[in-house]
Amino acid sequence: MNTTRIGIIGLGNMGGRMARRMLAAGIDVLGYDAAPGRAAAAGARAAASVKEVVEFADVVLFSLPDSKVIEAVVEGAEGVLAACRAGQTVIDLSTAAASSSIRLNGLFRECGVHFIDAGISGGPAAADKGTLTLMVGGDAASIEAVAWVFKPISAKVLNMGASGAGHSTKLLNNFLNAVSLAATAEIMVAGNKAGLDPHLLLEVLNSSSGVSYATQTRFPKIVDGDYIEGGLTSRLMTKDVVLYLELVRELGVASLNSAGPLASFGLACALGYGDQVSNRVVDAIGDVSGGIRVQVKLKLSTGGDK
């Protein structure tokens, strides 16, 4: 098997970045995206269909919005299952329902195709640098065989266990991300209304028990007007929280902390921030708290301008 032929289905925010990393490593990439021009923007050769990608590649990667889209791409009349061949490997780098991934793994196994679910963490910045963290699920030998695929895009690859384990881990991580981002947005708005300097407030949080990725990495930029565009949108964050809720329901685990992030990112979507980076949740909370913006250069109330 020629181990330099990669097919990527989904060349958006993360898929395009991963494609560029692989091309820079000398890997031949053929890409397909429903949005015209994305393959070219990533520097990859463009396929006319999913079928063309699957027929070309030894390893097919997915970077797609959700399980509904993934299932359509896999099971459609001209989808991956219809075109795949024994010995291929399919790696799903999306954020998806673990139960769906386990079901698809069974379908691929019947065709002699190796299926790996691989959650990714690190966002656009890590994707650009090739330093993503990957949490993967599937057969250990199959995962080891595609280590060369992971090398250009990741700094750490953790085998979490059997099929579905990678996507389960990703949902757990994303839920904590949603909780900390929504909660930090709320306290930054509250701090503003209390007249606190946002830089000093963050300094306290980052040297105290309230520290989180949001306080350390996101808000030091947000308070200076940099929302770190290009990351996960509020609409996708809401989708991930819902997927987490479905997972814990299936596991029989009580979810006592989901109402906050679900309401926060739902609010952001309702107020028009759904397709903007999820960090804008701070503006959504500010909007319903008196038109507050937490940026230093804007100081206190700005009348709610977006």
Residues 302, 291: contact at Cβ < 8 Å? Answer: yes
Residues 57, 5: contact at Cβ < 8 Å? Answer: yes
Please state, in angstroms and as integers, the Cα–Cα distance from residue 204 to each residue in 185, 191, 199, following that order.
15, 12, 9
Name which of 172, 160, 102 is nearest 134 in CA terms: 160
Catalytic residue among 151, 170, 239, 299: 170
Which helix (H) or strand (E) element contains residue 32? strand 28-32
Q: How many CB atoms lie within 10 A of CB 115?
A: 27
Structure tokens at 71: 């299932």
**For residues 155-179, b (16+ Cβ closer than 10 Å) or e, as one string?**
eebebbeebbbbbbbbbebbbebbb
Handedness of CA 231, 234, 236, 237 (dihedral sign): positive
Residues 140, 116: contact at Cβ < 8 Å? Answer: no
3-state secondary structure of 79: coil
Name which of 180, 142, 174, 140 is nearest 160 in CA terms: 140
Rounded to whole angstroms, the Cα distance separating 265 from 8 reads: 29
Is 170 a known active-site residue?
yes
Which sequence positions are flagged as catalytic? 170
